[in-house]
Amino acid sequence: MSDKLDLEAQWPELFTQLDTKKRRAVVQSFAAAWHEGWKPNREDVENLTDYMRGAIDRPEYERRATETAECQRAAPQDIKTV
């Protein structure tokens, strides 16, 4: 895990239409999971920034989030061997 969660630096184009309050809300929404070891992906960040800027409504955000989660569950997991 990196030392700093910096979604805005990683995907600046997703944050251009958000004000400071909405930018912070997006980052904070991912912070707890990141501290537990989850690595944010572009699709999740894009879905939430789309919702926060009003490009999609809540039902569409929830549909996308569910679809993304199902795809990630179906994807083969990296197996670490010792």
Task: Give the C-alpha separation, 43 to 34, whole Å.
Answer: 15
The yes-or-no verdict on residue 63 having pLDDT over 80 is: yes
Confidence at 4, pLDDT banded by 50, 70, 90? confident
Confidence at 2, pLDDT banded by 50, 70, 90? low
Report how far apart, in Å, the C-alpha atoms of 31 and of each of 5, 55, 58, 74, 79 are. Answer: 7, 23, 21, 24, 25
Phi/psi of residue 72, nearest 5 degrees: -70, -35
Calculate the average pLDDT of the chain.
Answer: 89
pLDDT per residue over 20-51, tens digit each? 999 999 999 999 889 999 888 999 999 999 99
